[in-house]
Amino acid sequence: MNLFSIVAEDSPDILARITNHITGKGIEIKSIASGPAEKRGMVRITLVTEISIESASVLKNSLEQLISVISVKPLCSKSFVARQFAILKVKLFSGEYHNAMEVVKSFGGRIVKKGKDLIVIELIDEAAKIQSVINTLNNFGVVESAQSGIVAI
Amino acid sequence: MNDLTTTVNQIAEREQMFQTDRNAPVITGAEILVCTLIKQGVDTIFGFPGGSVIPIYDVLYDTKEIKHVLVRHEQGATHAADGYARATGKTGVVIVTSGPGASNTVTGIATAFMDSIPIVVFSGQVASSYIGKESFQEADIMGITRSITKHNFQIKSVDDVESVVKKAFFIARTGRPGPVVVDLPVDVMRAKTSFRPDTSEVSIAGYNPFTISDMESITQAAEIISKSKRPVIYAGGGIINSGAGQELRKLAEKMNSPVTTTLLGIGSFPENHPLSLGMLGMHGTWYANNAVTKADLLIAIGARFDDRVTGKISEFAPDAKIIHMDIDPSCINRNVKSSLALVGDAKNIMRKLTPIVSRCDSDEWIEKINKWKKEHPVYKEIKTSRGASAQKVIKTISQMTSRNTIIATDVGQNQMWTALHYTFTIPRTIITSGGLGTMGFGLPASIGAAIGMPERNVVAIIGDGGFQMTSAELATAVHYKVPVTIVLLNNGYLGMVRQWQQLFYKKRYASTEIGSSNPDFIKLAESYGAKAVRVDDIESFKSAFKKAVDDDSPFLIEVIIEREENVFPMVPAGESIIAMIEEE
């Protein structure tokens, strides 16, 4: 997995420019997340692909050639922090609430909405851990899952 | 306001007073656009009007500084601007209307993009409030051209017109050049604002095209070069864009290294020079392809290791250390891994490198290559069953023209015959679509080149297939009395595809025979008002060609050529570049 932290000029079509460029090279985007960067008028985009190290280097160079892109930093393992955000809607049968709570707590999640037989959980963690929570909660029944792209720095 | 020239002059006079003068003239977006074009040095625009660009054409109507060339199809405008840019080294400019006008430019923009040619295409757009509503003649040209432009802009406010246009030209011509599209909603062109020209330099946060290669890497390159006994310089279109022909020659002569060029690099090194190997690749010379394959050092300058050059990549220059010089870092290690990369302008790098390189111990190598040249000449006489030999026609044109004649080609056999058999000696004398390989390019590109370089002779070499894709531009050539000589090589086939079918598809000529339904090209040319003559042997071609070149208006020579003459050498697709077929 290759992570890139891209800083670019904020414009209505910046995501289209970047995604067009990448997919035009036959590279699949595994995850992309964009938000304001520390500098006004700039966005920081976290991009995740699964390509070889050589291809990642070529992709970095070619992304840097886009006029709207200010910088492209490949994020190497151990030296960055990456998180994903997920909201899960879990169906519960009577008597399962406490067990489900235990699972959520053990993963540092939070219940943000509680219904008669449904709970809505939010999680912020590494992508792999979020997947692990989903797998565990599937024992109860995850009926809806919404996940953000990976954000890293 | 009708007299734009007066306004521009007034603005220029007032520029120095602007610090205190608050009474800047109030003019429209279209007027600001044209003022800015004049300030950018634009003297020619190729275009085709339509509803959304009428405000711009209304301003151009009174503008003496800019000649507008009305084409017959927007694709022709982009190719003509491209030919103008390749011949002059300046930025080509196009104006088209919204919707189909804009979408018709796509092939021309992609052609310029693939070959790194600076053009700026101004496309009309529906009014801002109509965008995205499937309005009449609306096309999302920003989305359509995003992947075939160096950059594109849509101007949202009349106050941004000047700054965006300046940025567009700056981006198009600097770094690795390329096409830029500027989309102009009609309301922005009609809107008025008080305008004071901004004389500041263009600055774009994420764009620094002036990369300078460090001296340490250049010294390292000189050390690698000093150890080479079998060097080859592989020169591409970057040399032409950089204006580095002289520097290339000095480097090659000091190193005692042979030079091969890509199709786009033709003209960067004189092909009559003893160190010239001609073109390499799929239709490269035997000795160029062999020299690259047996080289111990390959210096790629302004070239991108295109698949038509490398053939089977694992067998390309297998014994060579590779030094790659390019202004575009994204070309480095993309197709072929280099031992050393020098990122920057070719001219700057060579000016620093040449003084510190030593002569290679390459006499034996050069001797061997000279022997190959004698054993495997490019030109071989062929027997014809009808008409003239196309190769001989090209050879004859080469002998009958001065060295600064501009030769525009179309795409296919005509293009490869020209690349192989015309002796190019100076940059910007071949105008050809290399990367995209756009049939239909030749005629409009030759018109653009001839308009840009009126003092030069311009010859267009085109096949009967490609000619019909943009033949309506004959009207443009006639209207502006462009003295282009069109050599139409008529074999009644889509010849290059037929050649592949002959060699690799058991002569199953599927949909490549066009001779039976071709028009009468003489009548066609004459109907536009061009002079035209048909010949079918070399002697009559010679006299027709002399007459055509001496004529000061468009002149078409239809040459009936051998139907199944092939381009050799040829490397079958995907094979190593030394797996050449040399003859039938």
| Residue B390 · residue B562 · CB < 8 Å | yes
pLDDT at residue B22, as a whole number: 63
- Top pLDDT among A18 and B212 is at A18
Quick check: B147 and A62 CB within 8 A?
Answer: no
Picking from A6, A57, A65 by the largest number of B CB atoms within 10 A of its own CB, the best residue to mutate is: A65
Which residue segments constitute the domains of chain B, with CATH numbers given? 4-194 (3.40.50.970), 215-375 (3.40.50.1220), 390-560 (3.40.50.970)
Predicted pLDDT of residue B3: 56
Task: Check CB contact under 8 Å for A70 and B206.
Answer: yes
% of chain B surpassing 70 pLDDT: 96
Instruction: Spell out which residues of chain B touch residue A13, defining contact as CB-CB under 8 Å.
Output: 142, 146
Residues B146, A9: C-beta atoms closer than 8 Å? no
Residues of B in contact with A64 (CB under 8 A): 329-330
B12-21, B323-332, B457-466, range with the lowest pLDDT: B12-21
User: Which class would CATH give A82-152?
Assistant: alpha beta
What percent of chain B stands above pLDDT 90? 93
Tell me the pLDDT band of A98, cut-offs 50, 70 and 90. Answer: confident
Say if residue B15's pLDDT is above 60: no
Q: B-chain residues within 8 Å CB-CB of A14?
A: none
Which of B171, B332, B334 is nearest residue A67 as measured by Cβ atoms?
B171
Q: Give B254 or B14, the one with higher predicted confidence.
A: B254
Which residues, including other chains, have CB under 8 Å from residue B118's CB and lie 6 or more apart?
Answer: B85, B90, B91, B92, B112, B172, B173, B177, B178, B179
pLDDT confidence tier of residue B464, bands split at 50, 70 and 90: very high
Task: Band the pLDDT of B525: cuts 50, 70, 90.
Answer: very high
Q: Mean pLDDT throughout A69-94? A: 91
Q: What is the mean pLDDT of residues B245-255?
A: 98
Are A21 and B147 an interchain contact pair (Cβ–Cβ within 8 Å)? Answer: yes
Sign of CA dihedral B211, B212, B216, B221: positive
- What's the residue count for chain B? 584
- B311 phi and psi angles, rounded to 5 deg: 60, -145
If pLDDT is split at 50, 70 and 90, which confidence band does B549 have? very high
Calpha distance B64→B5 (Å, rounded): 7
Tell me: pLDDT of B2 over 50: no
Q: Kindly report the nearest CA distance between residue B330 and chain A, in angstroms.
A: 5
Are A65 and B205 within 8 A, CB to CB? no
Interface check for A77 against chain B (CB to CB < 8 A): the answer is no
Q: State whether residue A132 sits within 8 Å of chain B by CB.
A: no
Q: Which of B206, B332, B334 sits opposite A69 (nearest CB)?
A: B206
Structure confidence at residue B18 as a pLDDT band (50, 70, 90): very low
**CATH 3.30.70.1150 intervals, chain A:** 82-152
Mean pLDDT over B522-537 rounds to: 98
Mean pLDDT of B389-396: 98
Q: What ipTM was reported for this prediction?
A: 0.93
**Chain B residues contacting A via beta carbons under 8 Å:** 142-143, 146-147, 150-151, 171, 176, 204-207, 328-330, 332-334, 337
pLDDT at B211: 81
Ramachandran class of B305: left when φ > 0, alpha when ψ lies in -120 to 50, beta otherwise: left
Q: Which of B204, B205, B330 minimises the CB distance to A62? A: B330
User: Could A61 and B146 be called an inter-chain contact, meaning their C-beta atoms sit closer than 8 Å?
Assistant: no
User: How confident is residue B231, by pLDDT bands cut at 50, 70 and 90?
Assistant: very high
Determine the angle formed by the axes of helices B74-88 and B106-114, rounding to 10 degrees. Answer: 20
Q: How confident is the model at residue A107 (pLDDT cuts 50, 70, 90)?
A: confident
Beta strand ranges found along chain A (DSSP E): 2-9, 29-36, 42-49, 69-75, 82-91, 110-114, 118-125, 142-147, 151-152
Smallest CA–CA distance, residue B148 to chain A, in Å, is: 10
- Flag if B330 and A21 touch (Cβ within 8 Å): no
CB contact under 8 A, B329 and A65: yes
Bridge partners of B343, per DSSP, are B326
Q: How many CB atoms lie within 10 A of CB B546?
A: 11
Query: In the prediction, which pLDDT does B21 show?
Result: 47
The mean pLDDT value of chain A amounts to 93
Q: Which fold has domain A2-75?
A: Alpha-Beta Plaits (3.30.70)
What integer pLDDT is reported at residue B17 of this predicted model?
A: 45
pLDDT 10s digits, B71-107: 999 999 999 999 999 999 999 999 999 999 999 999 9
Average pLDDT over chain B, rounded to whole? 96
Q: What is the DSSP string of B438-502?
A: -TT-HHHHHHHHHHH-TTS-EEEEEEHHHHTTSGGGHHHHHHTT--EEEEEEE-SB-HHHHHHHH
